[in-house]
Amino acid sequence: MPKSDFEPEIVYEGIPASPGIAFSLIHVMARGFSAPEVYEISASEIASEQQRFEEAIDVTKKQLTELRNRLEVLAGNDEQAIFEAHIMLLEDRAVVDRVTDAISSRQQNAEFAFYAVMQNFLEAMRRIPDPYLRERTADIEDVSQRVLRNFKLGEDIRQLVPDGRHILVAYDLSPSDTASMNRRHVMGFATEQGSVNSHTAILARALGIPAVVGLDGAVIDIKTLAPAILDGYTGKLILYPSAETQEHYRELSERKEKVRSALDAMREVATKTIDGRELTVSANIELVDELSLVKSCGAKGIGLYRTEFLLLNGEEMPGESEQADVYSRIAETMAPHPVIIRTLDAGGDKLPVEPLTDPEPNPFLGWRGIRVSLARPDMFRDQLRAILRASGKGKVSVMFPLISGLSEVRKGREMLKRCMDELHEEGVPFDPKLPMGIMIEVPSAAVCADLLAPEVDFFSIGTNDLIQYTVAADRVNPHVAELYRPTHPAVIRLIKRTIEAANDNGIWTGVCGEIAGDVRLTPLLIGLGVEELSVGPLQVPRVGQAIRSLNHVECEEMANLALTKGNSQVILDLSLDLAKANYADLLD
- Residue list, annotated binding site for phosphoenolpyruvate: 306, 342, 464-465, 475
- Chain centre distance of CA 86: 37
CB-CB contact of 433 with 411 (8 Å): no
Secondary structure string (H, E, C) spanning 85-152: HHHHHHHCHHHHHHHHHHHHHHCECHHHHHHHHHHHHHHHHHCCCCHHHHHCHHHHHHHHHHHHHCCC
Closest CA to 170 of 193, 200, 201: 193
Asked if the bond preceding 36 is cis, omega within 30° of 0, the reply is no
Q: Is 166 one of the catalytic residues?
A: no
Q: Residue count of the chain, please give it.
A: 588
Phi and psi at residue 518, in whole multiples of 5°? -90, 100
DSSP code of residue 272: B
DSSP code of residue 235: T
- For residue 177, count other CB atoms closer than 10 A to its CB: 16
Largest CA distance in the chain: 86
Check 27, 166, 199, 552 and give the catalytic one: 199
Q: Which residues are annotated as a binding site for Mg(2+)?
A: 441, 465
- For residue 433, count other CB atoms closer than 10 A to its CB: 8
Closest CA to 559 of 491, 459, 485: 491
Gyration radius of the chain's alpha carbons: 27
Burial level of 522, CB count in 10 A (0-12/13-18/19+)?
A: buried
Check 27, 166, 419, 512 and give the catalytic one: 512
CB-CB contact of 46 with 103 (8 Å): yes
Q: Which residues are annotated as a binding site?
A: 306, 342, 441, 464-465, 475
In angstroms, rounded to a whole number, what is the distance separating the alpha carbons of residues 264 and 541? 6
Would strands 508-511 and 532-535 be described as parallel, antiparallel, or unpaired? parallel
Q: Is 512 one of the catalytic residues?
A: yes
Q: How far is CA 369 from CA 315, 351, 413, 435, in A?
A: 17, 11, 15, 19
- For residue 69, count other CB atoms closer than 10 A to its CB: 12
Specify which residues 18 forms β-bridges with.
211
| CB-based contacts of 582, cutoff 8 Å, min separation 6 | 523, 546, 549, 550
Let me know the angle formed at the C-alpha of 297 by 437 and 559, rounded to the nearest 5 degrees: 55
CB-CB contact of 128 with 53 (8 Å): no
The catalytic residues are 199, 512
